[in-house]
Amino acid sequence: MKFYQTSVIAILMLAASGGWIHADEMKPLLHPLFSDNAVLQRDTKVPVWGWTEPGGKVRVSFAGQEKIAVARGDGKWIGYLEPMPASAEGRTLEIQSERPKQKVLIRGVLVGDVWICSGQSNMEMGIGLCNEPEEIAKADLPLIRLLTVPHRISFTPESTLECRWLPCGPENLMKGTWGGFSATAYFFGRELHRELGVPIGLIHSSWGGTPGKAWTSGAALMPLADYQAELAQVEQVASSTAPDKLAAFMDRWYREKDPGTAKEWFNPETDVATWKTTSMPATWGKSGLPGYEGIVWLQRTFEVPAAWEGRNLVLGLGAIADVDTTWINGKLVGRCDYFDQERLYSVPAKALRTGRNVITMRVMNAGSGGFSATPAQMRIHPEGEDGVAVSLAGQWRMRATATRAATGAPLAGRPSTTSVLYNGMIAPLVPYAIQGAIWYQGEADTSNSARYRTLLPAMIRDWRARFGSGEFGFHIVSLANYQPATTKVAAGNSSDWAELREAQAMTAKHVPRCGLAVAIDIGDAKDIHPKNKREVGRRLALSALANTYGRKIEWSGPWFRSMESTGSGIRLKFDHAAGGLLAKGGKLTGFTVAGNDRHFVEADARIEGDSILVSSHTVAKPVAVRYAWAANPECNLYNRQNLPAVPFRTDDWPSPTSSQ
């Protein structure tokens, strides 16, 4: 069970086959990315690095090569292996340092293609959640290697991490952060392995519910005006000299923004007689605060039995949306910044007293807030004796103090904070040699689609520069269809999901060596996490085979190229339609047209050779066309390779204030 009592997570573990060199810096002789069963990138120079005494020499030996590296003043050394062809032979990487004298052997190392697989929950979604028992059972593919990067936020770039490579097999495929290893990553890697016949290394680094800005470095965001204020806060935390930098920042923020904190309501003697009485666990909506976003204080008392005197206890509160700080008798016992983490806080005996004790909580939320625990999860008990507990479900005192509108959005320790996931989950991978990256993210940015047009290209450029692998392939999953199906597009309506897809498509089209996997037809109206990741992986692999490996194959559905007015209609031309266009299932659907009044109406559309003619009897002179312009549109345009058309609009009109 995973839980956190502090806001900043910094887990730097001992490398599987080497020791720590600096007790103060806690950095290993060899970076943990180089573990047994690793995959090294073929056909390019391969950096191998770690840490030793400044000025110390390190010998790197692999596949008949021997390189000598000298550690810099900070102790970091880096050696480069010459380009190697793909090899399915498991060989040994040997590292020897002279000061102190050490040897590390990494066994079962392959040479092939390495891909980073990143994004939010649809990339994180494990194969065990995708109704694929047969695929899991036959996934005995030891030349595919899997590595999962643990969740970690950081306000400065991290240099190492806890990780290990695993050969792909049914058991290892079920290991992962959420239902096993990333289903999208696995199916993508499997397709590449089948087509290329070389070892494939998949580095899975994703976190559900996170925006693109969290995965982008501060340096890359600095030129973009929209992120300046938050970057300044991140820098303030990073430059703090406090033992817990984020806690110190947030303590100041709460004292400035929240009346309850300023009045020290965590004091057990606080008078709560005027606070609302409510039953927990419950959401704020069920506690008389529907739609509330902001800060809420809660308090309740409980009795410690005499038999527990002098013993440490465990406080359980279940999951809480979003951020909590918890005191017992005025002493801080825990804080957590993750809405989906069960709270289990250690309570030292010195914080308790026999008889009456007071729990005080400060909870801050954006979106739906409250407790998602079961009554059985809200309890306190002695360490090691969870069968004997005092229930904390039932009556609590509650008071809301400061709305989000009044306080603004704080940093907190959320993974949605600008650059913290780049720092914690991408920076530790740099400069591992890679072939490319796949990216399934955007749901968290649908309200910021205009920003995304510059954000995603900036992130791609930044990753490419930092990894030093050139303009490596970068392949994007276009958002799948979601929400109630839209059969008609009302005049003038906008769609934030459609606009985000547009930003993804623009990036794929204009940033070199990028590709797009359209998923507009394989989503789920009722589930933001559609289960058909097999087809997502296949379409990503098609994009990679064409745009990264140079294969002459069709990898995309029809992509709007140009339009021509016919007077009463508009003729559309497409790329990726050499084999012809297809209306799957019958009549062509999903098109709307508008005149100069920008009033969009459903259009009649028909395929004429390699083009489509659209018109409407209600629009005498149409000037603009939109296709599949909704979160979950009815649309059925494909090419003869059975790949769906990329949603598009021919206009660049600003969205109206009304939303779809």
The rounded distance, in Å, linking the Cα atoms of 454 and 32 is 33
pLDDT at 24 over 80: no
In the structure, what pLDDT confidence band is assigned to residue 388 with cuts at 50, 70 and 90? confident
Report the CATH fold assignment for 20-206.
Immunoglobulin-like (2.60.40)
Question: Could you tell me the sign of the dihedral formed by the alpha carbons of 281, 286, 291, 297, in that order?
Answer: negative
Q: If you average pLDDT over residues 5-26, what whole number do you get?
A: 32
Please state, for a pLDDT cut of 90, what percent of the chain lies above it.
Answer: 83
* pLDDT, tens digit, 9 for 90 and up, residues 365-377: 988 899 999 999 9
**Confidence band, pLDDT 50/70/90 cuts, at residue 5:** very low
- Look over the chain and give the mean of its residue pLDDT values, rounded to a whole number: 92
Residue 479 has pLDDT above 70, yes or no: yes
Burial class (CB in 10 A: 0-12, 13-18, 19+), 248: middle
Residue 19, pLDDT score: 30
Q: Is the pLDDT of residue 400 over 80?
A: yes
Residue 488: which pLDDT band, with cuts at 50, 70 and 90? low
Average pLDDT over residues 431-436: 98
Alpha-carbon Rg for the chain in angstroms: 28
Indicate the residue type of 22: H
Q: Which residue has the higher pLDDT, 12 or 505?
A: 505
Q: How many helices (H) and strands (E) does the chain have?
A: 13, 36
The residue to which tokens 């990726």 are assigned: 576
Provide the residue type at 29 as one letter.
L
Residue 79 CB contacts under 8 Å (≥ 6 apart), including other chains: 47, 48, 49, 58, 60, 67, 68, 69
Which segment of 214-218, 360-364, 656-660 scores lowest on mean pLDDT?
656-660
pLDDT in tens, 111-157: 999 999 999 999 999 999 999 999 999 999 999 999 999 999 999 99
- In this predicted model, what pLDDT tens digit does every residue of 299-332 receive, in sequence order? 999 999 989 989 999 999 999 988 999 999 999 9
pLDDT at 20 over 60: no
Q: State the pLDDT at residue 14.
A: 27
pLDDT value of position 10: 30
| Confidence at residue 26, expressed as pLDDT on a 0 to 100 scale | 64
**pLDDT on residue 413:** 67
Q: How confident is the model at residue 659 (pLDDT cuts 50, 70, 90)?
A: very low
pLDDT surpassing 50 at residue 453: yes
Label residue 338 by pLDDT band (50, 70, 90). confident
What's residue 534's pLDDT? 98
**pLDDT tens sequence across 534-591:** 999 999 999 999 999 999 999 999 999 999 999 899 999 999 998 899 999 989 999 9
Identify each DSSP E strand in 24-100 by its residue range. 27-28, 39-41, 46-51, 57-62, 65-70, 76-81, 87-98
Q: Are 334 and 351 in contact (CB under 8 A)?
A: no
CB-CB contact of 387 with 281 (8 Å): no
E strands in 214-354: 276-280, 294-304, 313-321, 323-328, 331-336, 342-347
* For residues 35-54, average pLDDT: 98
Give the range among 2-11, 130-139, 399-408, 645-654 with minimum mean pLDDT. 2-11
User: With contact defined as beta carbons under 8 Å apart, do 127 and 435 qualify?
Assistant: no
Q: What is the mean pLDDT of residues 346-357?
A: 94
The pTM score is 0.88
Q: What one-character-per-residue DSSP string does 318-345 give?
A: EEEESEEEEEETTEEEEEE--TTSEEEE
Q: Where are the domains of the chain?
A: 20-206, 254-407, 559-649
- Span 90-98, average pLDDT: 97
- Chain-centroid distance of CA 219 in Å reads 19
Asked if the model's pLDDT at residue 401 lies above 80, the reply is: yes
pLDDT of residue 485: 86
pLDDT category at 386 given cuts 50, 70, 90 is confident
So what's the pLDDT on residue 322?
87
pLDDT of residue 75: 96
* The pLDDT value given to residue 617: 94
> Do the beta carbons of residue 336 and residue 313 sit within 8 Å?
no
**Please, what CATH class does the domain formed by 254-407 belong to?**
mainly beta
Confidence category of residue 39, pLDDT binned at 50, 70, 90? very high
Query: Average pLDDT in the 505-526 region?
Result: 97
- The residue-averaged pLDDT of 180-191 equals 98
